[in-house]
Amino acid sequence: MAVTALLALTACNEEAALTQPAEPQNPPVADNSGNVYITGDDFTWELGGGEGDEGGASSIGAVTRTQLTVEDNVAKFAWTPGDSVGILPDKGAQVYFEIPTPAEDEEMGNKATFDGGAWALKPTSDYAAYYPFVKDFDLDRTAVPVSYTGQAQTGGNSTAHLGAFDYQGARPSPTNGAGGVSFDFDHVGALVLLQFTVPTSGTQLTGVTLSADGAEFTTKGTYDLTSTEGFPITPTETAESMTIGLDYTTTADDETVTLYFLCAPIDLSGKTVNVSVACGGTEGETIELQADGKNLVAAGGYLMEAKIPYLTFAADAEQTLTMVFNDLSNVGLQVDFEYSVNGAEWSQLTLDKAIAFGGTAGDLRLRAKSQFGTAYKDEYKECFYKISFGNATPVECTGDIRTLVDWENYATASTAMARFCQLFYYCTALTTAPELPATTLAAYCYEGMFYDCYALTIAPELPADTLAEHCYECMFSSCASLTTAPKLPATTLAKYCYNGMFYSCHALTTSPVLPATTLAEACYYDMFNNCSNLSSITMLATDISATNCLYRWVDRVSSSGTFYKNSAATWATSGKIPTGEWEVKIYVPTETGTEGATE
């Protein structure tokens, strides 16, 4: 019995926020024949768009396997002769339909006609369908395999490689009286359009690797065609990163390269996605970029733009930024900063001149090349550059501070001599801090960096486990709104490393655990002094014999507003604490004095 099937995929024109894929429609069989009707859905796109924004626009030539064309934020899907769709009955072995070449007067599009030959559907069975076909005639409809490994793109803007990874499924459907059946296909994975700029023509690109802290990518798994809600993938293999091969050599400076890949659904929202572009060659050069993570759901299409994480300043209304040089030793200017507003060309920054940004003016980006960061030389800690804002309009600062050390090679830039002393001193409009991922620290590297930043509520992560003298001294002093402190992983401390770090952080209610077992001179000096709402501190050190290591570290701590000197520094005259984990209790005095203080 000859059977035919119609597969139609209509383009999605929505440019708004991503919506969940629709439930299967199961279009009715038009007549009482044995025809098989198959309907598939396009990806639902979240490409952004707008006037002057090319978004995910791409010009794609002829490809093999399934074809995907992205143009003007519309995803158009088409079949290719040779594509095969597997059909699985509830009993017995599977069969497949192969898409034939269209007639001379027809073009291959999102509709195709199948010829089943002498094979017929049984009216007593139900049938599920999937794509691409797997040559396993004992395939279990509840465990259809997927694998996202081995994706490789040839050219800087091609989808030719996607067909074999665009897993789709249709739930079981009963036949009609004549043996006909209707299927509705859903995509199993998410489609990502990754764009990045390569600065130099002639760069040979060999692959792209993506990773994000705490993320596990499903590389292999299975999905169940009998699932009632979507086709969630059950992982069988996972990895901390995902690599897509790329074979392309850039033809122009600052060329934008577009990479397409499919992946299992994964929630990357709120995460920074690290994008490492391999450039080939014997040295193994890479371009390190970052992109904002998104929640990648099945049947969703996403534009992700990977960029160098320049220090970026954003404001909802008009604001200005001025860079000044604090030159107490009369050493003269040393660092050339460059800036760009609203994506314009980079210009050299002039000291003491206000740069307008924010609101309709757009964001301001800042970059530099300076092994000393925003200071002069290591011996001149009092000579440094400072940022100030022109009004009270809140400012968000994002990006990686290392782009001020070497913006082209920020991920591998040496920070051994880089310092950012008082860079945001008294920037009361600052609401967020940039990333500070350096693990090699210089003496005084972050001294007073956010001093008096009243609006800052969350401190950036500080991953370094080897410290330098005075490295975090007064870093967040008088940040009165700071509610979240960073983890402090170092177990061996340096002189004055945490001196005054959280002085007068009145909104701080809990401290990070202090895991250090080897203390140093004045390491905790004034660390939590005048933190009026701090409730407890957990410190793991048992030897407090280092000179002044706990001096005034919790002085004047009180939730009642009455200051009281804590006696933690006098636990033992020998400077030793009995072995074990200790919690420092802060005692709040009564209104009449220290007698009768409550724990």
Tens of pLDDT, residue by residue, the chain (599 residues): 223 333 322 222 222 222 333 343 344 343 444 555 555 566 665 643 333 333 333 322 222 345 556 555 555 666 677 778 888 998 888 888 777 777 777 776 656 555 555 566 777 788 898 988 998 878 999 999 999 999 999 999 888 888 889 899 989 988 776 667 777 888 899 989 999 999 889 999 999 999 999 999 999 999 999 998 889 999 999 999 999 999 999 999 989 999 999 999 999 999 999 999 999 766 678 999 999 999 999 988 888 999 999 999 999 999 999 999 887 666 666 678 999 999 899 999 999 999 999 999 999 999 999 999 998 776 556 788 999 999 999 999 999 999 999 998 999 999 999 999 999 999 999 999 999 999 999 999 999 999 999 999 999 999 999 999 999 999 999 999 999 999 999 999 999 999 999 999 999 988 888 999 999 999 999 999 888 888 778 888 878 889 988 888 877 664 433 333 333 434 433 445 545 555 555 545 445 544 444 44
Q: Is residue 258 part of a domain?
A: yes
Q: How far apart are CA 530 and CA 450, in angstroms?
A: 17
Burial 306-339 (b: 16+ CB within 10 A, else e): bbbbbbbbbbeeebbbbbebebeeeeeeebebbb
Instruction: Say if CB 518 and CB 495 are below 8 A apart.
Output: no
The verdict on residue 283 lying in a domain is yes
User: What range does the domain containing 26 cover?
Assistant: 7-305
Phi, psi (rounded to 5 degrees) for 556: 50, 40
In a domain, 352, yes or no: no
pLDDT given for residue 324 in this prediction: 92
**Residue 430 near residue 453, CB atoms below 8 Å:** yes
In a domain, 153, yes or no: yes
- Does some domain include residue 221? yes
Q: How many residues belong to the chain?
A: 599
Domain membership flag for residue 404 = no
Task: Report the domain count for the chain.
Answer: 1
pLDDT of 8 reads 29
pLDDT value, residue 77: 62
Q: What is the pTM assigned to this prediction?
A: 0.76
Q: Is the dihedral of CA 216, 222, 225, 227 positive or negative?
A: negative
Residues 6+ away with beta carbon under 8 Å from 290: 272, 273, 274, 275, 306, 307, 308, 309, 400
pLDDT at res. 67: 57
Helix (H, G, I), strand (E, B), or coil: what is residue 139? coil
Q: Who's near 386: CB < 8 A, 6+ residues apart? A: 323, 324, 325, 326, 422, 423, 424, 425
Give me the residues paired with residue 355 across strands. 321
Distance CA 168, CA 223 (A): 10
Q: Does the residue 399 lie in any domain? A: no
- Within-domain flag for 177: yes
> According to the model, what pLDDT value does residue 202 have?
93
